[in-house]
Structure 1
Amino acid sequence: MPGRETAGRPSPPTERVVAVLNFLARHPQQRFGVSELARQLGLSKPTCLGIVTTLAECDYLVRDTNDKTYRLGPALITLGHTAQEAMRVDPAARTELRRLSGIAGTTAALSAVVDDRITVLDLVGPPGADVGVQVGQSYPFAPPVGLMFVLWDDAALRDWLAREPTVPLRTDGERLQRVVDECRRTGYLVERLTPAGRRLYGLMAGMSSRLPDELRALLGELVADIGERVYLRSETPQGSRQRHDISVISAPVFDHHQRQAMVVSLQIGTALTDGEIAKRARALTTTADALTSRLGGTKPAFDG
């Protein structure tokens, strides 16, 4: 499958501007002078000064006149809101995510496939929470990554399975069908927390679908089967009080064509019983249904 099309040659001056903004975004509570920014980013001081001066004049940065340091500015707020609207993120979605986060006591996220990339659209969590992902972060949309975005749509699932995988895979068709059936019946997907899973997304963040051979080999050791990290309650003995290490619980948001438009997720990162999973899943699916309604969408009916 071809990678993302490039319109032309990269622009080094633009890359330097992006580097400044990305660095400050990674340190939102701090302010930096020109000398420190230049040193951190490997830029000459005159080049760095020109960049931050122009960005400050446009309100993309704010300059402290006392100590001559810079931080992110208010124009980026408007830019971010506009980008979210362009991706069909209803401003009320943040209210729904905040409610969900408060009920579950953990971070709630909204994500979608944008230009063939899985992209985090919004993220709301308890103060100080760090789940290892950020708004705007993106991942290749190809097996084994992205199952939650196609589980509730037969055509989308077939298309996704037909994509060139990011790593060599084996597929247990019988178990994958059980995953599809149970997730459609319950309305949500539960992923196990594993060391491999934690490393997988960290390694793939921001990368294209054409991964270097060395990284493909490493990822092949981490994830070898589509859906292998999915937790199915039907595979646990009835009445068991066993706790399961859970990474994420996700539920679909549908548009007016009854197609998956987005996914709402709860970042868990701890061990839960079946009852605790079900409690969080109920709050999650309520949020997903509310966002579906706001989109003017409709949930499809599945047999069984």
Structure 2
Amino acid sequence: MRRAVRVLQALADADGGVGVSELGRGLGIGKASVFRLLRTLAELGLVQQDSETRLYRLGPGLIPLGQAASEAIDLRSAARPAMERLTSGTGMPTYLNVPGSRDVVCLEHVRSLSQIDLYGQAGHTMPYHACPSGLVLLAFGPSDRLERALSLGLSRYGRNTIVSRRALRAALADVRSHGYAFGTDDLEDGVTSVAAPICDHHGDVVGALGLAGFSHMFESRRESLIAAVEQAAAEVSTGHRRPAATRLARVAG
């Protein structure tokens, strides 16, 4: 893996195409090894070879990867100010969560002043069915995401973890109806969290903004905390609110 990345970096630094021998000399890797790496990268569309010069350069398969990385960075940058305000106003940690292939992935995290840290740092993962952010991403996401989550099984983590398909589908319908997800004792006993969807300029849900705290912290201000999360998520969402609202309404319907 490290060698493959070095090959890609070398091609990115080159002004034009690069040959196998030149790559090998520059990287200190044998010609045969470089050729095998290039062949694999070419099969993935990450590099391509000029049919006339036989030189290699970066391939079109890198374009969607770069776009995805750029969008993740943009989302993170857009979310941070709203997350800091939300944490400052509530005294609870906030989380920016995005869909992963198997689990929900925490892209950004803002600690509370009291250093409450319930769900870990950025990079931490959570099962879709066992947290409000996961329910949001399932409710407003593509059907294959839900099918993937179901295929992995609905394991129990807390007293109120959703462990049946019927209950999960009912919960997702509720999320679509209300526009947010709320859960207590689902991922961890004694912890409550709420999450709202984040939309891009097309109105598609690309992430979820979550707020978590010990359950007693929600007892007297549940509604105000839900409203605060919804407002923060709306601030993060890019583009006009009208297309986002239209998309959510279309999914809910």
Correspondence for 2:244: 298
Do structure 1's residue 271 and structure 2's residue 219 form an aligned pair? no
**CA 1:116–1:255 in 2, change beyond 3 Å: closer, same or farther?**
farther
Letter in 1 for 2:204: R
2-side partners of 1:162 and 1:301: how far apart?
24
> Which consecutive residues of structure 2, in runs of 5 or more, have no partner in the other structure?
4-68, 157-161
Identity of aligned residues (%): 16
Which residue of the other structure, out of 79, 90, 95, is the alignment partner of 2:81? 95
Say if 1:264 and 1:284, in contact at 8 Å, map to a contact too.
yes
Say if 2:198 and 2:205, in contact at 8 Å, map to a contact too.
yes
Give the drift of 1:140: 6.0
**Helix, strand or coil for the counterpart of 2:249?**
coil
Say if 2:138 and 2:172, in contact at 8 Å, map to a contact too.
no
Correspondence for 2:97: 111
2-side partners of 1:158 and 1:114: how far apart?
12
**Helix, strand or coil for the counterpart of 2:183?**
strand
**CA 1:101–1:137 in 2, change beyond 3 Å: closer, same or farther?**
same
Letter in 1 for 2:108: D
Q: Identify which of structures 1 and 2 has the higher relative contact order when contacts are C-alpha pairs closer than 8 Å and 6+ apart.
A: 1
Letter in 2 for 1:278: E
**CA 1:295–1:269 in 2, change beyond 3 Å: closer, same or farther?**
farther
Correspondence for 2:125: 139
Correspondence for 2:164: 171
**TM-score (normalised: structure 1):** 0.48
- Which whole-Å deviations, capped at 9, do the CAs of 1:24-67 have from their partners, x for residues lacking one? xxxxxxxxxxxxxxxxxxxxxxxxxxxxxxxxxxxxxxxxxxxx
**Residues paired across the two proteins, number:** 177
2-side partners of 1:142 and 1:186: how far apart?
18
Correspondence for 2:140: 152
- Which whole-Å deviations, capped at 9, do the CAs of 1:185-243 have from their partners, x for residues lacking one? 2221111136xx338xxxxxxxxxxxxxxxxxxxxxxxxxxxxxxxxxxxxxxxxxxxx
RMSD: 3.6
Do structure 1's residue 198 and structure 2's residue 188 form an aligned pair? yes
User: What are the within-5 Å matches in structure 2 for residues 214-225 of structure 1?
Assistant: none
- Which whole-Å deviations, capped at 9, do the CAs of 1:75-134 have from their partners, x for residues lacking one? xxxxxxxx7864442423211111111222211111112454422111123324131444
Correspondence for 1:27: none
Give the drift of 1:261: 0.7
Give the drift of 1:161: 4.1
- Which whole-Å deviations, capped at 9, do the CAs of 1:172-196 have from their partners, x for residues lacking one? 51x43432232222221111136xx
User: What are the within-5 Å matches in structure 2 for residues 1-304 of structure 1?
Assistant: 86-114=72-100, 116-139=102-125, 143-144=129-130, 146-153=134-141, 155-156=143-144, 158-165=146-153, 167=155, 170-171=163-164, 173=166, 175-193=167-185, 197-198=187-188, 246-271=191-216, 276-293=221-238, 298-299=244-245, 300-302=248-250, 303=252
Give the drift of 1:156: 4.9
Give the drift of 1:279: 0.7
> Which consecutive residues of structure 1, in runs of 5 or more, have no partner in the other structure?
1-6, 10-82, 200-244
Letter in 1 for 2:249: A
Structure (1 or 2) with the larger CA radius of gyration: 2
